[in-house]
Structure 1
Amino acid sequence: MWLYILVFFLTFFMMEFMAWFTHKYVMHGFLWSLHADHHRKDHDSWFERNDTFFIFYAVISIGFFLLWQYDVLKIGLAIGLGIFAYGLTYFLVHDIFIHQRFKIFRNATSRYGKAVRRAHKMHHKHLGKDQGECFGMLMFPLKYFKK
C-alpha cells in the first residue's frame, strides 16, 4: 500500500518537471502553433488550440489505468492517478486561478497565490515563442515571493 502512495506522490511531483519540459521545449518549440493562441488571444472562442495539450496527458493517464486494469503494470493505477491529480491541479491553478476562465478564486490573497500569479504574468509578458521564462506551474523562482 505504501508503495502505491509513494508512486502516486512521485508521479505528481515528476509531472511538474514534465509540464515544465513540455511547456519550454514542445509548446514553445515545434508545437508553438497550438500554444500561440494562449499568449495572443487571436480568436473569439472560449476554447484555445492550447487546450489540446490536456488531451495528450489525459490519454497517457488513461493508458496507465488500462495497464493496471489488465494486470500489465500493478502500479499503473498509482501512476495514472498521479498524472490525473496533476492535470486537475493544473486546471484549477492555471485555468481557473490564474487565467480566470471560470470566475472563482478571484480574491485569493495568499503569499503563494500572489507569487504564482506574478511568475505566470512574467511568462506571458513574452508574446512570442522565444525568450520566455517561468515555464513551470507550481514551482518557480523564489524572487516572485519577495515582492
Structure 2
Amino acid sequence: MNSDRPIRSAKAELLDLVGELHTPEEAGAILFPHTADVLSKIDQLREESVILSLEADGQHRYPAFQLDIAERRVRNAVEYANRVQHAAARPWSTAAWWLTASPLFADDRGRALTPMELAATGVLTQIAVDNILVHGSARM
C-alpha cells in the first residue's frame, strides 16, 4: 500500500474545491501588466506569503479568488490571512483553512460560508480573518 495516496487524494480534492487556478504567467499578467519580469515578482509574493500557491503537476498555481482583477492586486484581507498563516511554508493547510466554513458568517439560508467565499465577494476583512482564526471554523 502506498502511504502517499491519501495525501495526494486530499491535495487533489483541495485543488478541485479551490476553483480556478492561475499559472504564474497569468497571475503575473494580472498583477504586473506592464512589467517584463513578472515571474520573479510572483515568486517573491509567494515566498513572502502574500499570495497562496498550490503545486499542481509540479507547477505553482494561484487560486483566482485571491486576486482583485479590476484593481490588479491581491485582495488586502487575503494577503493578511495568507501572511498570518505562513502560506509559503504551509500552503495545503492554508488552502484547507480558506475552504473551511465558518459558523461566524452565513448566507441568507443560514449556510456557513468559507473565507474563500467571503474573499471572492469582496466582503472579507482583516477583522473577519482574526475572528475566524480565533473562534475556529466548522469542519467541512
**Both proteins in one fold, TM over 0.5:** no
> Could you say which structure has the greater relative contact order, defined with CA pairs below 8 angstroms and 6 or more residues apart?
1
Q: Which structure dedicates a bigger proportion of its chain to strand?
A: 2
Query: Which has a greater percent of helix?
Result: 1
| TM-score relative to the length of structure 1 | 0.28
Larger Rg: 1
| TM-score normalized with structure 2 length | 0.28
